[in-house]
Amino acid sequence: MFPNPEIFGIQLNWYTLWQWLAIIVTSLFALIYIRYNKTLNISISKLIILICCLIFCGYPGAKILSAVDYFCETGALFTEEYMSSFSIMGGGLRMYGGLLSLLLITPVLAKILAVRKWSNYLDFIVLLLCLFTAIVKQACFFSGDGCYGVYTNLPWGMYFPYGEAPNMIPVHPTPLYDTIFHLILFAILLKLNKKKTFDGQVTVVFFVATALFNILIEFIRRNPEVMFSLTLSQLTYFLIIFITMIYYLKFRNAAKSIVAFV
């Protein structure tokens, strides 16, 4: 969308800038929320350790799915073009890979770290994740790396003349759709977290909502179909919904057990 900015003759990367901005804003929100929300019954030290472990485990998941997606699109793996995107604060990440990793690894990490009632921790973590997603999606929008949608004649169709995949026809600005959706979802989750009927409810709503949104928005994106006329992203999000339903049953049963005990 825009050329990479330069400050004092140093060229910066949109991905790096927006990722750092997302980290800073999300961290500030977490500090403020923890300070003023007296009902948040979690250990701050364990929360920080759990978040760091999830980031450490989620990043490889996002990279692995990126490699699989690249293979589905080009039929090649680990080319020079792909490896050039392999950086800690660069592009070449797939959000659905990170989300899938988070779902799979959280129960294991919670057990290792001896985090009791980890569903309550996860409710707070997905709040941060939703806000982070809303901000970091602008990295795709500003860089114009090809994550925009298909041609549209709608009045808000946009041009992406710069970046790795320049485009000179009006297309769906799907990163903007992503940001708007996740900001709205963040507001809903924030309210739900105060009135939830069981621990884990916010987690379930987040994963189901973001998965359904991404499954639908894929129909106006330009990613190749992999199986059953669906893209890799859609297939992964269907798997995420399936795992989330298992979480839901676990969380509900745990809540019922507590009520029965009381």
DSSP character string of 220-246: GB-PPEEETTEEHHHHHHHHHHHHHHH
More confident residue, 252 or 71: 252
- Banded pLDDT at 86 (limits 50, 70, 90): low
More confident residue, 238 or 229: 238
Q: How far is CA 182 from CA 81, 125, 177, 210, in A?
A: 31, 15, 9, 8
Q: How far is CA 75 from CA 71, 78, 136, in A?
A: 5, 11, 28
> Cα-Cα-Cα-Cα dihedral of 158, 161, 167, 173, to 10°?
-30
Give Dmax (Cα) for the chain: 66
| Mean pLDDT, range 202-210, rounded to an integer | 95
- Banded pLDDT at 260 (limits 50, 70, 90): very low
**Count of domains for the chain:** 1
Task: Determine, yes or no, domain membership for 46.
Answer: yes
More confident residue, 76 or 236: 236
Task: Determine, yes or no, domain membership for 10.
Answer: yes
Task: Determine, yes or no, domain membership for 107.
Answer: yes
pLDDT in the model for residue 116: 79
Lowest mean pLDDT among 8-12, 62-66, 257-261: 257-261
Question: Integer distance in angstroms from the first to the last C-alpha of the chain?
Answer: 57
- Banded pLDDT at 225 (limits 50, 70, 90): confident
Give the H or E element holding residue 3. Answer: none
124-167, pLDDT tens digit by residue? 999 999 999 999 888 877 776 667 778 788 888 888 776 666 67
Q: Which two tokens stand for residue 159?
A: 């041009």
Residue 210 has pLDDT above 90, yes or no: yes
Task: Determine, yes or no, domain membership for 180.
Answer: yes
Task: Determine, yes or no, domain membership for 261.
Answer: no
- Residues with Cβ < 8 Å from 101, sequence gap 6 or more? 57, 58, 60, 61, 62
What 3-state DSSP class applies to 151?
Answer: strand
Task: Determine, yes or no, domain membership for 250.
Answer: yes
Lowest mean pLDDT among 94-98, 165-169, 203-207: 165-169
Task: Determine, yes or no, domain membership for 1.
Answer: no
CA 82, CA 109: separation in Å to the nearest integer? Answer: 31
Domain holding 236, by residue range, is 6-255
Task: Determine, yes or no, domain membership for 15.
Answer: yes
| Mean pLDDT, range 238-243, rounded to an integer | 95
- Residues with Cβ < 8 Å from 147, sequence gap 6 or more? 140, 174, 175, 221
pLDDT in the model for residue 42: 74
Lowest mean pLDDT among 12-26, 177-191, 212-226: 12-26
Q: Is the dihedral of CA 46, 49, 53, 58 positive or negative?
A: positive
List the one residue out of 84, 244, 218, 72 whose CA is nearest residue 164: 84
- Residues with Cβ < 8 Å from 79, sequence gap 6 or more? none
105-130, pLDDT tens digit by residue? 888 888 888 887 888 889 999 999 99
More confident residue, 2 or 150: 150
Angle, nearest 10°, between helix axes 95-112 and 232-261? 30
Q: Which two tokens stand for residue 29?
A: 């929100």
- Side-chain-facing half-sphere of 234: CA atoms under 13 Å: 17
